[in-house]
A = this chain, B = another copy of it.
């Protein structure tokens, strides 16, 4: 499998689930952690995850000069966050997935780690309904999962609105490392009047015109613009996010980065300033 290819269209995920549901909302920590399950099957473990689809207003840009008052958006979410929680299994594990639709519109799931339509797809799930199915982690790598709306009808709106996350299938042998993930995505917001203007407090929704003409209002990292950028400017400082999170690593520590580009339109050129990546 071509890992670099995969890397360009997805990410990964932490919160490893034992037999019981363990939700570890990714954004309380950038670190990918893992917990061991208890059941075994075909040499692998059996793990469970529940994803709750719903609609929810979320803050997608901090209050700064570029976005006066911050930006709030009528998002579509898995488990209430953009992106949805990260999921982590080992090669050979079986993952049972439950999709509960607690929202007001039809949602669904496409798990790119699943091999075969019955493993990858939930089919349309109506409001108030739920569905459970399972996949086996056959190929190691990082894979996106996302909403496919109602049988692809509305897929771009549902993805743009925030319904994506990542699953990592760890290979059987892997050097231990501190793991991070960053999900890139674009937001097309009909209430956003542009840089230094913002939305004047209005929570906007998907703008199909901006989407078709590929003019996003925000590029987000893990669900928010400038999430990890406190400020720019050494001499003339421009504050961007006074609550910015930081990636913390010890000198000499091996790190592994899972990068996902949920898009839906633009590419991503990720690099470390003063660093090197091996892929």
Residue of B2, B114, B116, B233 near A151 (CB, 8 A) is B233
Q: B114, A153: Cβ atoms under 8 Å? A: no
Residue of B151, B276, B278 near A234 (CB, 8 A) is B151
Q: Which residue of B lies closest to A151 (CB)?
A: B234
Instruction: Determine the distance from Cα of A263 to Cα of B271 in the docked complex, in whole angstroms.
Output: 14
Q: If the complex has contacts A2-B278, A235-B126, A274-B114, are A9 and B151 also in contact, measured as CB distance less than 8 A?
A: no
Residues of A114-150 contacting chain B, CB below 8 A: 114-121, 123-124, 126, 139, 150
Residue of B106, B117, B152, B279 near A274 (CB, 8 A) is B117
Q: B112, A271: Cβ atoms under 8 Å? A: yes
Q: Can you list, as one digit per residue, whether each of A197-216 has a CB less than 8 Å from chain B (1) or not (0)?
A: 00000000000000011110
User: Which residue, A114, A269, A273, A276, has most C-beta atoms of chain B within 10 A?
Assistant: A276
* Minimum Cβ distance to chain B for residue A9 (Å): 6
Q: B121, A152: Cβ atoms under 8 Å? A: no
Instruction: Determine the distance from Cα of A123 to Cα of B276 in the docked complex, in whole angstroms.
Output: 19
Q: A235, B106: Cβ atoms under 8 Å? A: yes
Residues of A175-221 contacting chain B, CB below 8 A: 195, 212-215
* In the complex, A4 has a CB within 8 A of chain B: yes
Query: A63 contacts which chain B residues (CB < 8 A)?
Result: none
